[in-house]
Every structure is written in structure tokens, then in C-alpha cells.
Copies of this chain bind each other. A is one copy, B any other.
Amino acid sequence: MKQFISVNDAGNIDQLVQLALQYKAEPLRDRSAGVGKRIGCLFLNPSLRTRLSTQVAAQQLGLDVIVLNAAADGWKLEFTEGAVMNGQTVEHIKDAAPILGQYVDILAVRSFPELKDREADYAEQIILQFIRYAGVPVISLESATLHPLQSLADVITITENLQAHPNLYQNRTPRIVLSWAPHSKALPQCVANSFAQWINAWHQADLVITHPPGWELSEAFTAGATIETDQQKALEGADFVYVKNWSSYHDYGKIKEEAASWMLTTQKLKATRNAKVMHCLPVRRNLELSDEVLDSPQSLVQQQGGNRVWAAQAVLKSILDSNA
């Protein structure tokens, strides 16, 4: 694995999932794999689970870890080629990234979209410029359009639940529903894009995406999935319901007011096959999902969050193996 910014870098998904589950069973099985090497984690935006799970995974592989919060500890980077830098940006990525690449063996970067200029965000110029200039393997800790470490943890979680009930899925393909949820803030499409991309590439489930009309995601990620704007119809017969808000892709960055009816509730889940409920966290309780659902045994959110460590550890180990 030369880098990890989308499912296209994952190679065989099932093999990656199996490696992750081996780490879950035995966290320190490769504790010398990274000794004498170093990962730099660069946060251009806030992070809790990703921040901590990546550090834990790195420590468990013996890697030295250095964390840099770009905004608070350092300064604002410039990403435009040829810019005359007499404004607020202090350093060009062309200068900063190769320096970082000299200091660390693996560079992990988190950077949200601005949600103002769709073309700029979807060009993924920030993570791609880090790849272009850093000279070391780059891992996405969430970029403008994707969040692959989250999606890998999601597939790990689904795999565990399928394996726990083999009889249920003997004669049919699991049905996974990605269900849009209300939110008071404009959020990226990353988690939804990435989840669709991974489930589609995984080929082991039927994916249905449900959202209000006009909230379609980019077909670059959803092609192959069924789109259904009637939430209740989408939920029928679901085995897994992944709940997530995203702002509009078409009317870029727009949020949907008065969408309370899209909150996932226990009542709505009655149409499913006792579906397991997923969310990447942080979740707005009683806005995206009811307390009742989140606090029920159907919720997998804690399992997903825990699996973030094993996803990161599998990716780090694969990167180390390919760049030894």
C-alpha cells in the first residue's frame, strides 16, 4: 500500500479487514513493525476519534508519533500554484510538505472541505498536493470528499455482525441502507461518499441510499447503489441502517431546514429486519437519531468507534510493509 486516501488504495478489502481483526484479537502482535520509524499526524481541522485511534494504532506498532495542529500550533498554508503570498497564508504546501516528508516516514493529514466551491473541494487539491510534494506515504485522516479510515472501520463492523449470524445470510445478500439525517450545521459529504464507495467496491451487500429529493450525492461514489427518496420504503427489509447527515452536493453546501421527520426512530426501524444501526460519530442525539435507538442493543456506534483503532493499525502496517 503506497498511500491510503480512498478505497482504490485498499487492495483486497477482505484481506485488510482480516488483518484488522487479527489486531483486534492481539493488539501488540506487530509491536516492533514500526520501531525506529515515525508518523506525523497533521490536523488542519479538529478530530477526536481519528486523532486518538491513529495514535493508538501507531503506538501499538512501535511507531514514534508526532502530532501537529496546524492552525493552533503552526500557521495557515497556501495551496494555490503561483500565488503572490502577501495575504494571510504563511507557507506554501510546496515548501511545507517536503519538509514534513523529511521529518517523518508516514504523513497522515486531516483536512475538511470549505463547502463553498464544489469544484475546488472535489479536486481534493489539499491531500493530492501533500501526496505530490511530501515524498513519503500519505494517509487521509479525512479529506475534502472521503473518509476511508472510517469506511474501513465500518466494513470491519459489518463483517463482524455478518459473521456473528451466518444463518441469517445464507441465502440472501445483506441489505444496507444509508439514510440521510437532519443536522443544524453544514457538514461535508465525506462519510457518505466514502461509505457508498466502499460498500460498492466490497460487492457483498446491496446498498440503498435514501435522502430528501435534491440531496443526491455525487454519482462518482454512488453508482451501483439504489437511490430512494422515500425513507420508509428504503428501510423495508434493511439489515443495517447507516445514519448520516450531509449538506447538499448539487446546491453545494446548503443545509435542509425543517427536516425533523428524517430523524431515525425506533418506530421507523420496525420496517427493517431488526436492523443494526450505524453512525460514524459524533452524533447529534435527538436530531439525527433518537436516544431510544442509540441506547438500544441495535446500535453499533460504539463497536464502529472501537474498530477505528484496528482499521488504522491494518492500514499503517500495510503502508510499512510496502515502504520498508
Show the binding face of A for B, using Cβ within 8 Å.
28, 31, 36, 38, 40, 43, 46-49, 51-53, 55-56, 59, 64, 66, 68-69, 72-75, 78, 82-87, 90-92, 94-96, 98-100, 102-104, 184, 281-287, 291, 294-295, 301-302, 305-306, 309
Contact = CB atoms under 8 A, between A and B. Distances in A.
Identical copies of this chain, number = 3
Most buried by B among A52, A59, A85: A52
Contacts of A287: 84-86
Contacts of A92: 283, 285
A48 B96 CA distance: 9
Contacts of A28: 36
B102 A286 contact: no
A284 B85 contact: yes
Given A82-B291, A99-B302, A309-B102, A66 B56 contact: yes
Given A83-B286, A86-B184, A305-B99, A69 B73 contact: yes
B66 A69 contact: no
A6 B23 CA distance: 36
Contacts of A283: 91-92, 95
A69 B43 CA distance: 13
Contact of A286 (B48, B59, B84, B100): B84
Given A282-B95, A285-B78, A52 B40 contact: yes
5 contacts: A48-B75, A78-B285, A99-B281, A103-B306, A103-B309
Given A85-B285, A85-B287, A285-B78, A99 B49 contact: yes
Contacts of A96: 48, 281-282
Contacts of A31: 36
A178 to B, nearest CB: 20
A103 B46 CA distance: 18
